[in-house]
Amino acid sequence: MSKLIIFTDGGSRGNPGPAACGAVIKNEAGKIILKSSKYIGKATNNQAEYEALILVLEKVKEINKSKQTKVNIDCFLDSELVVKQLNREYKMKNEGLKPLFIKVNNLISEFNSVKFFHIPREKNKLADKLVNQELDAQIK
């Protein structure tokens, strides 16, 4: 059974404002196997954080499609709110986040296990860089 390490970030300039998400997938040895980012239009920071997870989980689903075993995933986010919502430590109260929360939960059912961990922003620099590159490219 394989394990993937995922770092995601989402951000908006203004809240809400122009938003993007970024993700990095590493194998168990720590080698980067995929970097991805996407401009998502007008959104809040929290919506962008969820969109980053959706983006990367859909990518992993595609990568893993041909394999017979289900993968284990550790997701590292610098959004404490999103991590605590997904770990069921906080209730989902925001109506704008509920559909994204549901989508993430539907996607994680495709995998053997998915764990969510909060990390400081300094340990999420590459995903953050992808978000900012995407925003810089869109906002001129």
In terms of residue numbers, what domain contains 61? 3-138
Per-position pLDDT tens, the chain of length 140: 589 999 999 999 999 999 999 999 999 999 999 999 999 999 999 999 999 999 999 999 988 887 767 899 999 999 999 999 999 999 999 999 999 999 999 999 989 999 999 999 999 999 999 999 999 999 87
Q: What is the pLDDT of residue 124?
A: 96
Place of tokens 């959104």: 43
Total tally of structural domains belonging to the chain: 1
Q: What is the pLDDT of residue 119?
A: 97
pTM for this prediction: 0.94
Return left, alpha or beta for 79; rule: phi > 0 is left, psi -120 to 50 is alpha, else beta.
Answer: beta
Q: What is the pLDDT of residue 117?
A: 98
Per-position b or e across 10-19, b if 16+ CB within 10 A of its CB = bbbeeebbbb
Half-sphere exposure of 96 (CA within 13 A, CB side): 10
Q: What is the pLDDT of residue 82?
A: 97
Return the number of other C-beta atoms located less than 10 Å from residue 83's C-beta: 20
Q: What is the pLDDT of residue 55?
A: 97
Domain of residue 123, CATH code: 3.30.420.10
